[in-house]
Amino acid sequence: MSIEEVWQAYSQSTKGEIISSSILRNGVDQRVISPLGPWKVALDTVTMYNPSVRTRTCMKLPFFNPTGLQFSLQQNDLAAKFKALFGKKPILTGTSAFDKKFAITGSDPGKIREIFSDPAIQELVGRQPYITFEISRHQTPEEFTGKLPAGVSMLCYYELSRKIKDVERLKNLFELLKSVITRMQTLGLVGDGAPDVEF
């Protein structure tokens, strides 16, 4: 399947809408906006310029963040170990296999542990060969641009490749965002409704 066919299949499975643009953004002329309860999930690409130019597939969900919760989840690789040297100790979920493979840091270890100790969420995270999954205060990974309004955050997944070409991976990512935002809502970490922000 071509990239366009993959994104079309994903949009159909999530009841999403393909938004075309007359201006190419990062070499891409479309994105997918899918409904998820009161929220919307965008499948898009974003170009990062620091430290080098890289275009990533991203999936984003803006939400009201009344507690200001922040977390970042990634593979437990050398970069994560380097962060730990400077005081960013990983938050353990209590599942040894998961904690060995992934490193989570964040602002509220207790709440973050409650989110990621969920077996279904751990399974969805584990299906991804590479993962950068976080709550961001910015519309893009570049922290000097696109700051969101006060009280609004973005649940984000980023992938190093230009576009994910696997429909099942995209579906699994959508389910991951769905499971995490629902879990956060159950824990009282998400405000009512959805913010009206361009993303």
pLDDT average, residue stretch 3-15: 92
Listed as own residue / partner, the contacts of 140-144 with beta carbons closer than 8 Å and 24 or more positions apart are: 140/46, 140/48, 141/46, 141/48, 141/56, 141/58, 142/48, 142/49, 142/50
pLDDT value of residue 84: 56
Residues in contact with 183: Cβ distance below 8 Å, sequence separation at least 6, in sequence order: 114, 115, 118, 121
- Residues of the chain with pLDDT > 90: what percent? 58
pLDDT average, residue stretch 69-90: 74
Question: Which two three-digit tokens encode residue 47?
Answer: 């170009």
pLDDT value of residue 145: 53
* 14-42 confidence digits (pLDDT tens): 999 998 755 445 445 578 999 999 999 99
- Identify whether the C-beta of residue 92 lies closer than 8 Å to the C-beta of residue 69: no
* 121-166 confidence digits (pLDDT tens): 999 999 998 889 999 876 654 444 567 888 999 999 987 666 788 9
DSSP, collapsed to helix, strand or coil, labels residue 124 as helix
pLDDT value of residue 47: 67
pLDDT value of residue 182: 97
Whether 83 shows a pLDDT value over 70: the answer reads no
- Identify whether the C-beta of residue 15 lies closer than 8 Å to the C-beta of residue 33: no
Cα–Cα distance, 10 to 23 (Å, whole number): 22
- Residues of the chain with pLDDT > 70: what percent? 79
Q: Which run of H or E residues covers position 19?
A: strand 17-25
Question: Which two three-digit tokens encode residue 127?
Answer: 């299906």
Pairing verdict, β 132-136 and 28-36:
unpaired
pLDDT value of residue 46: 73
Weakest-pLDDT range from 44-58, 90-104, 173-187? 44-58
Q: In the predicted model, what is the mean pLDDT of the chain?
A: 85
- Identify whether the C-beta of residue 85 lies closer than 8 Å to the C-beta of residue 154: no
